[in-house]
Every structure is written in C-alpha cells, then in structure tokens.
Amino acid sequence: MDLEFYDENKYLISMTPADKIIEAGTVLGLNDKCSVLDLCCGYGEMLKLWAENFNIKGVGVDRCTEYINTGNRHLHDAQLNNNITLIAEEVQTYITDEKFDIACLCGVGDLFGGIDGHISMLERFIKPTGKLVIAECFLNKESAPKELREFEGELYTLYELYRLFSERGWYVSWLSTGTNADWERYISWEARRTIEKIRKSPDDKRMLEWLDKWYHMYFKYRREYEGWGFFVLERIW
Ligand SMILES: C[S@@+](CC[C@H](N)C(=O)[O-])C[C@H]1O[C@@H](n2cnc3c(N)ncnc32)[C@H](O)[C@@H]1O
C-alpha cells in the first residue's frame, strides 16, 4: 500500500481523493501566482496538496480549532506555512479585503442556504475572473426517502445542480463524482473517529447512538440514493 497517499486521504474529510484534487488543480490552472480561499477547509488538506503540487498561496477558514491546529502543524512540518494560512473562525463572520483567484466550499450540505447561498458566499471573495470549487452530495434518484431528506437536508440531482449553477452564471468546467471506494473511505473514517471517542468516554451513550445512526443511514439509504460531486465552476463572460 502507498502509505503516503493513504496519509493524505486521511485528512481529507469529504470524499474527493487526493489524486482527483490534484487533477482539479491542473484544470484550474493553478500556479505560484494563484491565491485560493477554502471556506470550511477542515484540516486544510486541499490547500496543502495544491501548495505542494502548484506552489499556490492560500487561506483556509474553519471553526473547528482541532482541525486548524493539526492542519497548521502539518503545514509547518511540510514547510508550507509561508504558502498557506489556516484560521479558526466562523465562515459567516469571516471578512478580508483580499480577493482570490479561486474560492472553495466543500462538504457543507445545506448549511448556508443551499447552492444559492454557497455561491453568494464565495462570490464575495473572488476577483472578477475568479473561479469556484463546490463539492456536495447529490441525489442519484429523482426522489429521496423522507428519512434521508431529514438526515441530509435538501439534496439535488446532478441535473438540478447544473441548473442551479448555470442560473447564477456559473458553468461546470470539470467534475469528479465519488466512487463506492471514496464513500467507504469517508464513512469508515468518521466511524473510526467515533469508535475512538466511545473508547475514551464509554458512558456517553450518544456516541454509540450516533455510530448506529451513521451506518444505518449509509447502508439503508446513502449507498443507494446519494452521490458525491466535486465541481469546478467558471463564468463564460
Ligand atoms: C465535511 S467537513 C469538510 C472539510 C473540508 N472542506 C474537506 O472537504 O475535507 C465540513 C467542515 O465544515 C466546517 N464548518 C461547518 N460549519 C462551519 C461554520 N459555520 N464556520 C466554519 N466552519 C464550519 C466543519 O468544522 C468541518 O470541518
């Protein structure tokens, strides 16, 4: 097994694997003059991969201090802390005067007003020629069971996503959809974290309930009804 590759994937919280993120970087035309903002960046692993492979400059924002501290340690160890800054902050209150070439929001469901809200949030931070990266779950079938909709919030088919993007003037210039292997990596990653927490706090029954719910949703609904898409979006004009 390629352990280095495995280690990178471990710090990508959502489903797109490291090789696809690097491929997206090529399509985005990333280079040492590009600046990238990643909102809800998790450990900042996507920015780290792009800094390693394309020498970009970037900023990542996430409210989880554990992710940000670990991510900053990795950047420091890889001597990439001059390229990338990770900030522990709520993205809805994050402000900066800087305008970026690329703005990203990956894996947040319908937290910020769905696709429309996500596009509005990202547009605030980009240059007129800027591009967006959005990664989201989508619906594989026209209608989703109620339990899945309650668990995931609003989900769209790929076609509906395309319509929503293009109504806002954004066109898909590259996409990558998740495989079963990507899902299995993501689902079991979260389960391993939860198992660790249960071992540390065996009396906390909520964690065990969450683990049951997590696998119940995956095996009963998500595997059949949900896909994962990573989209590069550009304006034509
Ligand atoms: C599924 S993870 C995706 C992380 C990363 N984009 C990736 O793909 O690896 C969602 C992230 O959103 C962050 N998040 C959720 N709501 C947030 C908010 N209001 N402000 C900042 N971060 C938030 C969480 O802390 C978590 O790291």
Query: Ligand 1, closest atom to CA 64?
Result: 25
Query: Residues enclosing ligand 1, CB less than 6 A?
Result: 12-14, 40-42, 62-64, 67, 90-92, 106-108, 111
Number of independent structural domains in the chain = 1
pLDDT of residue 1: 39
CA of 89 to the centre of ligand 1 (A): 11
**Could you say which DSSP state residue 159 is in?**
H
Residue with tokens 């390629």: 2
Low-confidence residues of the chain: pLDDT under 50: 1-6
Chain-wide mean pLDDT for the chain? 93
Query: Is 65 part of any domain?
Result: yes
Query: Is 188 part of any domain?
Result: no
Query: Is 201 part of any domain?
Result: no
Domain assignment of residue 156, given as a range:
3-179+226-234
Query: Is 25 part of any domain?
Result: yes
pLDDT of residue 51: 98
pLDDT tens across 175-210, in order? Answer: 999 999 999 999 998 899 899 999 999 998 999 999
CA of 14 to the centre of ligand 1 (A): 9
Query: Which pTM does this prediction carry?
Result: 0.92
pLDDT of residue 110: 81
Query: Is 209 part of any domain?
Result: no
Contact 155, 137 (CB under 8 A): yes
Count Cα neighbours of 41 within 13 Å in the Cβ-side half-sphere: 32
Query: Is 213 part of any domain?
Result: no
Query: Ligand 1, closest atom to CA 12?
Result: 9
CA of 27 to the centre of ligand 1 (A): 24
pLDDT of residue 14: 78
Nearest protein Cα to ligand 1, atom 13: 40
pLDDT of residue 10: 66
pLDDT tens across 113-142, in order? Answer: 889 999 999 999 999 999 999 999 999 998
Query: Ligand 1, closest atom to CA 90?
Result: 20
Nearest protein Cα to ligand 1, atom 20: 90
Query: Is 150 part of any domain?
Result: yes
**For residues 217 and 101, what is the distance between their CA atoms, to the nearest angstrom?**
37
CA of 71 to the centre of ligand 1 (A): 13
pLDDT of residue 5: 41
Contact 157, 138 (CB under 8 A): yes
> Tokens representing 192?
């391993």
Query: Is 212 part of any domain?
Result: no
pLDDT of residue 9: 59
Report which residue type is found at 226: E
Give the residue from 180, 189, 147, 158 showing the smallest Cα distance to 14: 189
pLDDT of residue 129: 95
For residue 81, give the CATH number of its domain.
3.40.50.150
